[in-house]
Structure 1
Amino acid sequence: MKLLIVLFLFLAAFSLEAKPLETVMYVDLARYQGTWHEIASIPQFFQRKCVKDTTAEYTVLSREEIRVLNSCTTEKDERIVAEGRGKVVEPKTNAKLKVTFANFKDKYIYLLAGNYWIIKLDDDYQIAVVGHPTRKYGWILSRTPGIPDDTLADLTRFLEDRDYDTCDFFTTPQEGGLTEKRKLCDIGK
């Protein structure tokens, strides 16, 4: 009987595991390149000094590699920049990349790269949502510093439908966009 209970609990815990995170069907990297403004994200240690105006600029270097240039403004109103590389790991879709900022003697080290999965992308390449299969990383990106409230609400529902805790996301203050940092789950309440 105890074995049955343990087996039941194990299977119940296993079945509660999040469903696999799906990416978009295809990303045209030439259209994806350019500047994106961070609208909201799950705060990460490497962004700890960022307080506003966070952007990512992507430049295609080859069929499988892109240059990543992240920048933001600090509390002291200084602009900081980090350069990295992204490597396409699923060439059929271009939606799964590994991104690294680890650079040793002008060589980027992909062993230290993180997953960068494009899980939503509008047809005009104006809004993107980037995720990670563990759901511990996530970004809402836009070509403009601000997006309409209803679009942000739709993106919040999109993330919830994919088993993200939207209370883990915080909005990013942007010149011309949102003016304060707030939990995404509190937007519209």
Structure 2
Amino acid sequence: MSLRRSLTRAVIAGALMAGAVFGAVAPAGAAPLFEPLAPIQKLDVDRYTGDWWQLAAVPQPFNLNCAKDTKANYQLIDPNNVRVQNTCTTWSGGQNLIVGNARVNDPVTTAQLHVSFPGVPTQENPDGPTNYIVTYIADDYSWALVGDPFRTSGFVLSRSPQATPDQWREIRRVVEQRGYNACLVITSPTTAGSPDIRPLCTV
């Protein structure tokens, strides 16, 4: 079975499972349903720079052409702006690359930003509202969970392209604790890690 077909099946399976549990009580300790995604107390933006692998995500239209090895590189421009470079390997084996900017919208936590990319509809304005919230980061900055205020997007980012079974369980716990439906978060294949595409709720 092709990776593309696997992704389609994973998304459909996730949607079906989400439908089955929609309206269910959130797990103990989870954010109340429909409460906006909360940022961490304080993000060290300089420490946050560098390479991040996408291990899982809520599928986005701009990401569907990415078959594997989805990666972000962040570089500090000044205290309020970060250069964003996203890359991935496409289904045909080529490389996708796009460069944009992340502007800090919240000087208190510095964990709420607006990310913009020239030429991308709805993301061209560099002065738009917050659409990138760091809602969790490990103490050692080894992995993070990022999303938008309404959880229509969500990205599990890691300094490593692979995760152990224990790490996957921790990722799922945090994703659910932050108010996401883990069945709508789909794992992202990496060459050096897992080739699987499946809902996080099955991990």
TM-score, normalised to structure 2's length?
Answer: 0.78
Q: Structure 2 vs 1, CA of residues 113 and 23 (structure 1 numbering), >3 Å: closer, same or farther?
A: closer
Matches of residues 131-170 of structure 1 in structure 2 within 5 Å?
131-170=147-186
How many percent identity over aligned positions?
34
- The answer to whether structure 1 residue 30 and structure 2 residue 31 are counterparts is no
Unpaired runs of 5+ residues, structure 1, are 1-15
Residues 72 and 110 from structure 1, CA distance in 2 versus in 1: closer, same or farther, beyond 3 angstroms? same
TM-score (norm 1): 0.84
Cα distance in 1 for residues equivalent to 2:38 and 2:90? 34
Contact 1:84 1:100 in 2 (8 A): yes
Give, in angstroms, the shift of residue 111 of structure 1. 4.9
Which structure 2 residue ranges, 5 or more long, are not aligned? 1-31
Which amino acid is 2:102 matched to?
G
Once the 2 structures are TM-superposed, how far is the Cα of residue 103 of structure 1 from its aligned partner?
Answer: 5.2
Aligned mates of 1:56, 1:18 — CA distance in 2? 28
Shift of 1:102: 2.5
- Partners of 2:130 and 2:155 in 1: CA distance: 14
Instruction: Compare the two structures and name the one with the higher strand fraction.
Output: 1
CA distance in 2, matches of 1:141, 1:17: 23
Residues 6-17 of structure 1 correspond to what in structure 2 (within 5 A)? 17=33
C-alpha deviations, 1:135-156, integer Å up to 9, x for none?
A: 1100001001001211111121
The structure whose Rg is larger is: 1
Moved over 4 A (4+): 111-114
In the alignment, does 2:72 pair up with 1:56? yes
Count of residues in Structure 1 that have an aligned counterpart in Structure 2: 169
